[in-house]
Amino acid sequence: MTSAGTEAGAGTGTPPTTLVVPTIGRPSLDALLDALANGTRPVDVPVLLVDDRAGDVKPLEPRTGLAVQVLRSGGRGPAAARNVGWHASRTPWVSFLDDDVLPEADWFEDLLADLARTPADVVASKGRVRVPLPSDRRATDWERATAGLETAFWITADMSVRRDALAGIGGFDERFRRAYREDADLALRLQETGRRIADGRRRIVHPVRPADDWVSLRMQAGNADDQLMRALHGPDWRERARAGHGRFSRHVAITGAAVTALAALATGHRRTAGGLAVAAGAGIAEFAGARIAPGPRDAAEVRRMLLTSATIPFAATWHSMRGFRRHRGARPWRGAPDLVLFDRDGTLVHDEPYNGDPELVRPVPGAREALERLRAAGLRVGLVTNQSGIGRGLITAAQADAVNARVEELLGPFDVMVMCPHAPEEDCACRKPRPQMVLDACARLGVEPLAAAMVGDTGADVAAGSRAGAVAVLVPNPVTRPEEIAAAPSVAADLAEAVDLLLAGVR
């Protein structure tokens, strides 16, 4: 896979960051790309446009004047799209922009200045957001909600994060399938590393997107994400993420009164039912009034507020209950590894003992497809292989290199290859199950071993990965010993299942 950040074009220097823009192809994307193309760019920062539309859709076209590469993330949500983007980057920083913002003309210059002045204890830098509101009338409920982005502590509309920090925590939690709380979750996990988040000087404009009458009702689905936040970060997560409590407790009270009223009516307690219904109605009226008062108060807005205020409390409560059921007991996100290393013989290709003949190389079923899935997700792949035949005088190093070249020809490019040429009796430091080859592969690519994975067919492969601090997955074949399978931390039936485990964040 082409490494983003190495094809910066004819700029005046090496870019310190890669720009990642997740998108579902909204019309606002064209305005963003035009603003980026027309802005002042002292360094030609590479742009990764991550198309998150599902299915067979017309490919997005890279914009002339920008070093744009288009990736696909398969409709898995903005968190997954951002993960595809940062995995494919190769710069020290990753800068995220939403596809509905407009950077100011000097945004690139200010971004580079923000990153250049960032001290080592700062893990992320966030831009300043301005939401333009109408000057000739009061703002609508939706416009006021969007304007809240101006004072949000941490939003993905414009943020830059150190790439090594993203790799260390596994990036964005892909269980957040909507653009709602994935940013706050990331902020809390980044701060748990002991570093802080700083404000930058760069600025963007976040226009208010067109919306229909029911947008505020659909937004209540985010209450399910609040339950995931609570499961992951505890009951005080709102205070630590600087997220307001809103009116959820009142929504629950209204819903409880309405549901209890129906139950009382069904059991013949009409007076109790009437009192509870009045209480629920009063709560809805107060809610509607609080939303109507600061708005324009025209007929359309008042009708919109009355209809949605009567339904939002029930939707908020329902989605919160749904989230509680789904996410209770949720474990911390680990994320896909930044680098996946594979054993060669018996794992990616059929084992031909002491093979020095490229013509004998035969990939195992599904090997190419498994590797391509990892590459498509932006992950780097490598090969670490014991070749004791060299040390024993059975093959030459040149022959082993020729076989590796044939493997690469059949299975696609590897970002790193490390080979141990020693015989077992030489007691070298690199032969698996010792971890040195895994550590060397990580060092060559600047990847922390904790952000890597090792996939192989023997206990030696698994031990090398585990001793290096990497994730280890065993893919047994007919010669794998039962005790090796029993001792492995993770076992996959084949390479496809191993990739499923790794992309799902098994650590």
Query: Which residues are known catalytic residues?
Result: 343, 345
What is the Cα–Cα distance from 344 to 351, expressed in whole angstroms?
8
Residue 257 near residue 280, CB atoms below 8 Å? yes
DSSP 208: P
What is the Cα–Cα distance from 19 to 362, expressed in whole angstroms?
39
Nearest alpha-carbon partner for 42 in 97, 99, 86, 106: 106
Residues constituting the chain: 507
Residue 482 near residue 358, CB atoms below 8 Å? no
Residue 447 near residue 338, CB atoms below 8 Å? yes
What is the Cα–Cα distance from 94 to 281, expressed in whole angstroms?
49
Angle at 368 between CA 348 and CA 55, to 5 degrees: 145
DSSP 350: -
Task: Write out the two tokens for 43.
Answer: 């360094």
Neighbours of 427 (CB within 10 A): 9
Nearest alpha-carbon partner for 162 in 114, 105, 201: 114
What is the Cα–Cα distance from 204 to 377, expressed in whole angstroms?
29
Residue 442 near residue 468, CB atoms below 8 Å? yes
